[in-house]
């Protein structure tokens, strides 16, 4: 089962979803803007992505520019910010087993699909 944190308004997210359909993957769609992820869900995804929280931030979002741009937040503070403002989460996130990738570029998703689930 592949999980995709998806925003249908995002072309990159739609591209990743289309790729998963083309590859006949079993997909669990998580529309994280409609149902914001919990602190624990975000923590788990960051662990699977193997990146610090700051690398998951969409820095062009208005809320980033007005609320967070010049602040130095801890990992926990960033995760809480994602809970409160899920629009800050880079998309799409594609999860397979214990690994995850940000689907920008689409080649990240293709690489994830080609690896064995751990």
Number of H helices, E strands in the chain: 5, 4
List C-alpha distances in Å: 94 to 37, 53, 68, 76, 97. Answer: 14, 16, 26, 22, 10
Give yes or no: 10 in active site. yes
Catalytic residue among 1, 2, 5, 10: 10
Structure tokens at 29: 């769609």
Catalytic residues: 10
């Amino acid at each position: 089962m592949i999980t995709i944190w998806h925003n249908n308004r995002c072309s990159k997210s739609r591209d990743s979803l289309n790729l998963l359909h083309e590859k006949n993957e079993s997909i669990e769609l998580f529309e994280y803007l409609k149902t914001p992820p919990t602190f624990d869900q975000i923590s788990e995804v960051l662990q699977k992505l193997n990146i610090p929280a700051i690398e998951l931030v969409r820095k062009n979002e208005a809320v980033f520019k007005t609320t967070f741009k010049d602040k130095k937040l801890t990992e926990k503070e960033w995760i809480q910010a994602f809970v409160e403002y899920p629009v800050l989460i880079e998309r799409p996130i594609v999860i397979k087993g214990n690994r995850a990738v940000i689907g920008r570029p689409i080649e990240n998703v293709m690489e994830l699909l080609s690896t064995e689930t751990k």
